[in-house]
Amino acid sequence: MASSSSPSLEVEDLYKRLNLEEESGGITVKAEEDGKKEGQDFNWSLVGRFLTDRQINFTAMQNTLASIWRHVKGVCIKMIGPNLYLFQFFHELDVSRVINDGPWTFDQHLLIFKSLELGMNPHQVPLFQVDFWIQVYDLPIGYMSERVARDVGNFLGKFVEADSNNFTGIWRDYKRIRVSMDIRLPIKRRMKLKKIGEEWSWINFKYEKIPTFCFFCGVIGHFDKFCEKLFDYLDKSGKNSMVYGSEHHQGELQ
């Protein structure tokens, strides 16, 4: 007995099923020599954004960064999305200097960047961490060891390195540590520490090259008059109670 369905419809259904199977499948790509070369190039690339809701003047930004970076072999800057940029360097020394000498700003807006690695999608790289050099004041004698530097750095964010001059015999008013900080969190003004059997001591922090930050909430990237938490810091007399205060701001290094 002949089938009641049309042969053309059966072929059409089969074709649809094949298409669905193809779309849900995948392949494993073998890394060839071209892929290695591409990965090598991307080791000299950064993806970044500026900490602002405003539109960036792309041409002015290019010229400004080219002027302050003074890269020897050049850099190609591309806009790959709204407030998202790809910085392609052409020599390892140029990109290393940009990474190590930061943080950088344009028009007072902090540049947040991350090195690209093979397999990364530039549009999906989380951009919230910035490395800052931080000066540590009022450390008691005998407290600045490599271990203490690391513990203090991890209190502030994620310890990156300590200034090698910290551990020389020359007396200095402060020690320096480099810390990777989440810019979504308030900066820390001070902390207390002690050794077993001793009294607590307060140590204070000053941030090098810190951009605009809020006196009320301590978050980098906006002024206090634009802070959503502004009214949470108003005292009963109606005066602004600045948690970070003008005296703290004057101590920060710009």
Which amino acid would we find at residue 75?
Answer: V
Q: How far apart are CA 214 and CA 172, in angstroms?
A: 30
Residue 142 is predicted with a pLDDT of 77
Looking at residue 139, what DSSP letter applies?
Answer: P
Q: How far apart are CA 196 and CA 204, in angstroms?
A: 21
**Domain boundaries of the chain, sorted by first residue:** 40-123, 128-209, 210-254
Beta strands in 151-221 (DSSP E): 158-162, 174-182, 190-193, 201-207
Q: Does CATH number 3.30.70.330 belong to domain 40-123?
A: yes
Q: How many CA atoms lie within 13 A of 193 on its CB side?
A: 21
**Residue pair 77/87 in contact by the 8 Å Cβ criterion:** yes
Query: Is the pTM for the entire model greater than 0.85?
Result: no
Per the prediction, the chain carries an average pLDDT of 80
Q: What is the pLDDT along the chain (254 residues), one digit of tens a residue?
A: 444 555 555 656 655 565 555 555 555 545 444 444 544 456 689 999 999 988 999 999 999 998 999 888 889 999 999 999 999 999 999 999 999 999 999 998 999 999 998 888 999 999 999 999 999 999 888 777 888 999 999 999 999 999 988 877 777 789 999 999 999 999 999 999 887 788 898 999 999 998 888 877 888 988 777 777 776 666 544 555 566 665 443 334 33
